[in-house]
Amino acid sequence: MRETLSLTVNGDLIETSAPTHYTLLETLRYILGLTGSKQGCDKGDCGACTVLLDGEAILSCILPVQEAAGRSVVTVEGLAGGPRPSPLQDALDLTGGAQCGFCTPGILCSATQLLAGNGSPTRDEIEHALSGNLCRCTGYTKIFEAVELAAAACRSGRTAGEVLAARAEGG
């Protein structure tokens, strides 16, 4: 059984025909070829499948695809919104917050929502926002640093690299 659905994915309005029992994650990965969002645990325990649905970070591995119909989905592939990485991607690159990279797409989506609503998150707020995204490589510290760096970059209108350089110079 298939059903034709229309939804916006990374800014593009698309029509897709997915089996009715697919999750949003399966549709993204196996119908639309957007393999950036990952399957880590199958059932909502790890956060690797996190995407933004109308701006809210949710778990795409337990969302029936029909619930995304008519709504806007942003995945890791759509976070940059252009040829340049987003400030958050840039910051994770600089701090070394991505290691094996498997949890990274989900982390990016959760952190993107956080920063959209909070330009100066505290360490506690960052920990809380990311507490549904498991990472086994980094011990989280560099991810926290990246979110703080991205927030500082956005606040100052500079790139993450410029913020780091200014810090190194004591400014």
Partner 1 sequence: MKRVEGLSKLTGRELYVDDLPVDGFLWGATVRSPAARGRIRGIRFDDSVDWSEFTVVDHRDIPGTNAIFLIEEDQPVLAHGRVRHLHEPVLLLAHPRREELRRAVEAVHVDVDAEPPVLDFRLTPDRERIQYGDDNVLKRLRIEKGEVERALAQAPHVIEGVYETGAQEHVYLETQGMLAWEEDGVITIAGSMQCPYYIVEAFEHALGRTPDRIRIIQAATGGGFGGKEEFPSGIALHAALLALKAGRPVKLIYDRSEDLAVTTKRHPSRVRHRTGVDGDGKLLGQDIEVVLDGGAYVTLSPVVLSRSIIHAAGPYACDHVRIDGRAMFTNSPPFGAFRGFGAPQSLFACERHMDRIAAELGIDPVEIRKINLIRDGDSTATGQVIADGADRVQVLDRALDLADYYERRTAHAGFNAAEPTRRRGIGLATFFHGAGFTGSGELFLDSEVHVAGLPDGRIEVRTANVEMGQGTLTVFTSLVCDRLGVPAEAVTIAPADTSLVPNSGPTVASRTVMVVGGLLEKASDDLRTRTGLPADADGRAIREAIREWHRSHPGEPLIGKAKYEQPEHIHWDDETYRGDAYGAYAWGAYVADVEVDLRTFAVSVRDFVAVQEVGRVLHETLARGQIQGGVVQALGWALLEECKWRDGAMENAQLTNYVIPTAGDVPPIRVEFLESPYPHGARGAKGIGELPFDGVAPAVANAVAGATGTDPASVPLTPETVMDLILRQRPPAGSLT
Partner 2 sequence: MLRLHPYEYHRPRTVNEAIALLAEHAGDAMPIAGGTDLVPNMKHRLFTPGHLVSLRGIEEMRGIGEDEAGFTIGAATSLDHVATDEAIRNALPSLARACSLVSGPQLRRMGTLGGNVCLDTRCTYYNQTLFWRKALGYCLKKDGTACHVVKGGTRCVAAHSADAATALLPLDAELRIAGPEGERTTPIGGFFTSDGVWNRRMSPGELLVSIHVPRQRAGTRHSFQKLRARDSIDFPMLNLAVRVDFEADGVVAGVQMAASAMGSYPRKLGKLDEGVAGAPLTESVVEALAREAFRQCHPLTNIPVDAEWRRAMVPVLVRRAMVEIRA
**Which residue ranges make up the site for partner 2 (CB under 8 A)?**
1, 3, 19-23, 26, 39, 42-45, 47, 50, 56-59, 62-64, 66-67, 110, 127-129, 131-133
* Residues in contact with 131: Cβ distance below 8 Å, sequence separation at least 6, in sequence order: none
The answer to whether residue 137 forms part of the interface with partner 1 (CB under 8 A) is yes
**C-alpha to C-alpha distance for 28 and 14, rounded to whole angstroms:** 12
Question: Using CB under 8 A, which of 6, 14, 42, 118 touches partner 1?
Answer: 42
**C-alpha to C-alpha distance for 86 and 102, rounded to whole angstroms:** 18
The answer to whether residue 142 forms part of the interface with partner 1 (CB under 8 A) is yes
Whichever of 44 and 85 has its CB closer to partner 2, that residue is: 44
Q: What does 76 bind: partner 1, partner 2, none (CB cut-off 5 to 8 Å by kind)?
A: partner 1
Q: Which stretch binds partner 1 (CB under 8 A): 1-9, 64-72, 101-109, 149-157?
A: 101-109
* Sequential DSSP letters for 13-55: EEEEEEETT-BHHHIIIIIS--TTS--SSSSSSS-TTEEEETT
